[in-house]
Protein backbone atom coordinates (compact mmCIF):
# COMPACT_ATOMS: atom_id res chain seq x y z
CA UNK A 1 0.00 0.00 0.00
CA UNK A 2 2.88 2.36 0.67
CA UNK A 3 4.20 1.82 -2.87
CA UNK A 4 0.78 2.74 -4.27
CA UNK A 5 1.42 6.31 -3.13
CA UNK A 6 3.85 6.86 -6.01
CA UNK A 7 1.01 7.00 -8.53
CA UNK A 8 -1.28 9.26 -6.49
CA UNK A 9 -1.40 13.05 -6.45
CA UNK A 10 -0.67 14.17 -2.89
CA UNK A 11 -1.80 17.46 -1.40
CA UNK A 12 0.41 19.41 1.03
CA UNK A 13 -1.63 17.89 3.90
CA UNK A 14 -0.87 14.41 2.62
CA UNK A 15 2.85 15.24 2.55
CA UNK A 16 2.72 16.58 6.10
CA UNK A 17 0.90 13.42 7.24
CA UNK A 18 3.41 11.23 5.39
CA UNK A 19 6.40 12.94 7.00
CA UNK A 20 4.73 12.77 10.42
CA UNK A 21 3.86 9.08 9.93
CA UNK A 22 7.40 8.15 8.94
CA UNK A 23 9.04 10.17 11.74
CA UNK A 24 6.57 9.14 14.44
CA UNK A 25 6.56 5.43 13.57
CA UNK A 26 10.33 5.44 13.21
CA UNK A 27 10.62 6.82 16.74
CA UNK A 28 7.69 5.15 18.51
CA UNK A 29 7.67 1.75 16.79
CA UNK A 30 11.23 1.48 15.52
CA UNK A 31 13.27 3.05 18.30
CA UNK A 32 11.13 2.93 21.45
CA UNK A 33 9.25 -0.29 20.70
CA UNK A 34 11.76 -2.41 18.83
CA UNK A 35 15.22 -1.08 19.64
CA UNK A 36 14.72 -0.37 23.32
CA UNK A 37 12.25 -3.16 24.14
CA UNK A 38 11.43 -5.99 21.78
CA UNK A 39 14.76 -6.63 20.02
CA UNK A 40 17.03 -6.94 23.07
CA UNK A 41 14.42 -9.07 24.86
CA UNK A 42 14.03 -11.44 21.90
CA UNK A 43 17.81 -11.89 21.72
CA UNK A 44 18.04 -12.29 25.51
CA UNK A 45 15.34 -14.98 25.42
CA UNK A 46 17.08 -16.69 22.47
CA UNK A 47 20.32 -16.74 24.49
CA UNK A 48 18.43 -18.18 27.46
CA UNK A 49 16.93 -20.86 25.21
CA UNK A 50 20.37 -21.71 23.81
CA UNK A 51 21.74 -22.13 27.34
CA UNK A 52 18.63 -23.90 28.73
CA UNK A 53 17.13 -25.96 25.89
CA UNK A 54 13.92 -27.88 26.43
CA UNK A 55 12.43 -29.81 23.53
CA UNK A 56 9.06 -28.03 23.61
CA UNK A 57 10.67 -24.59 23.88
CA UNK A 58 13.08 -25.29 21.03
CA UNK A 59 10.24 -26.54 18.80
CA UNK A 60 8.22 -23.43 19.67
CA UNK A 61 11.25 -21.11 19.65
CA UNK A 62 9.55 -18.15 17.91
CA UNK A 63 6.72 -18.19 20.48
CA UNK A 64 9.27 -18.60 23.26
CA UNK A 65 11.46 -15.73 22.07
CA UNK A 66 8.49 -13.38 21.70
CA UNK A 67 7.35 -14.08 25.26
CA UNK A 68 4.15 -16.03 24.60
CA UNK A 69 5.32 -19.17 26.40
CA UNK A 70 7.55 -19.79 29.43
CA UNK A 71 7.58 -16.16 30.43
CA UNK A 72 6.56 -14.26 33.52
CA UNK A 73 2.83 -13.65 33.75
CA UNK A 74 3.43 -9.95 33.19
CA UNK A 75 5.48 -10.59 30.01
CA UNK A 76 2.86 -13.02 28.67
CA UNK A 77 0.07 -10.52 29.36
CA UNK A 78 2.00 -7.72 27.65
CA UNK A 79 2.86 -9.94 24.65
CA UNK A 80 -0.74 -11.05 24.12
CA UNK A 81 -2.14 -7.55 24.73
CA UNK A 82 0.25 -6.01 22.21
CA UNK A 83 -0.63 -8.66 19.66
CA UNK A 84 -4.35 -8.00 20.15
CA UNK A 85 -3.79 -4.25 19.88
CA UNK A 86 -1.76 -4.67 16.67
CA UNK A 87 -4.51 -6.83 15.16
CA UNK A 88 -7.07 -4.14 16.02
CA UNK A 89 -4.91 -1.42 14.44
CA UNK A 90 -4.46 -3.51 11.29
CA UNK A 91 -8.22 -4.06 11.07
CA UNK A 92 -8.85 -0.33 11.32
CA UNK A 93 -6.06 0.55 8.87
CA UNK A 94 -7.49 -1.81 6.24
CA UNK A 95 -10.62 0.32 5.93
CA UNK A 96 -8.71 3.57 5.35
CA UNK A 97 -8.90 4.88 1.79
CA UNK A 98 -5.82 5.76 -0.22
CA UNK A 99 -3.70 7.83 0.20
CA UNK A 100 -4.23 7.62 3.97
CA UNK A 101 -3.62 3.88 4.14
CA UNK A 102 -0.41 4.25 2.14
CA UNK A 103 0.70 7.10 4.39
CA UNK A 104 0.13 4.99 7.50
CA UNK A 105 1.76 1.95 5.91
CA UNK A 106 4.84 4.01 5.00
CA UNK A 107 5.39 4.74 8.67
CA UNK A 108 4.84 1.08 9.56
CA UNK A 109 7.41 0.01 6.95
CA UNK A 110 9.98 2.37 8.50
CA UNK A 111 9.23 1.09 12.01
CA UNK A 112 9.41 -2.57 11.01
CA UNK A 113 12.64 -2.01 9.05
CA UNK A 114 14.18 -0.42 12.12
CA UNK A 115 12.93 -3.42 14.11
CA UNK A 116 14.68 -5.89 11.81
CA UNK A 117 17.89 -3.87 11.95
CA UNK A 118 17.64 -3.69 15.76
CA UNK A 119 17.23 -7.46 16.09
CA UNK A 120 20.24 -8.01 13.81
CA UNK A 121 22.23 -5.45 15.83
CA UNK A 122 21.49 -7.14 19.17
CA UNK A 123 22.09 -10.56 17.65
CA UNK A 124 25.55 -9.45 16.46
CA UNK A 125 26.20 -7.97 19.90
CA UNK A 126 25.18 -11.22 21.58
CA UNK A 127 27.37 -13.30 19.28
CA UNK A 128 30.39 -11.17 20.20
CA UNK A 129 29.62 -11.08 23.92
CA UNK A 130 26.27 -12.30 25.36
CA UNK A 131 26.93 -10.34 28.57
CA UNK A 132 26.43 -7.10 26.63
CA UNK A 133 22.67 -7.80 26.43
CA UNK A 134 21.49 -6.53 29.80
CA UNK A 135 17.74 -7.04 29.27
CA UNK A 136 16.03 -9.70 31.35
CA UNK A 137 14.78 -12.79 29.54
CA UNK A 138 11.69 -12.52 31.78
CA UNK A 139 11.41 -16.25 32.40
CA UNK A 140 9.62 -17.65 35.48
CA UNK A 141 11.85 -17.35 38.52
CA UNK A 142 13.97 -14.66 36.86
CA UNK A 143 14.91 -11.82 39.17
Note the pLDDT tens digit of each residue in 26-81.
999 999 999 999 999 999 999 999 999 999 999 999 999 999 999 999 999 999 99
4 occurs within a structural domain: no
Q: How many domains does the chain have?
A: 1
Q: Where in the sequence is the domain holding 49, given as residue range(s)?
A: 13-132
Distance CA 119, CA 36 (A): 10
pTM of the model: 0.88
**What angle, rounded to 10 degrees, do the helices at 100-128 and 12-25 form?**
20
DSSP 96: P
38 occurs within a structural domain: yes
Amino acid sequence: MALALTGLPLTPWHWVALIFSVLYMGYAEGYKGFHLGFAPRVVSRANYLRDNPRAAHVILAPLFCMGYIYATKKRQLISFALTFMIICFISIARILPQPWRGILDSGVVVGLTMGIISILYFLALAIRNPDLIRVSAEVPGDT
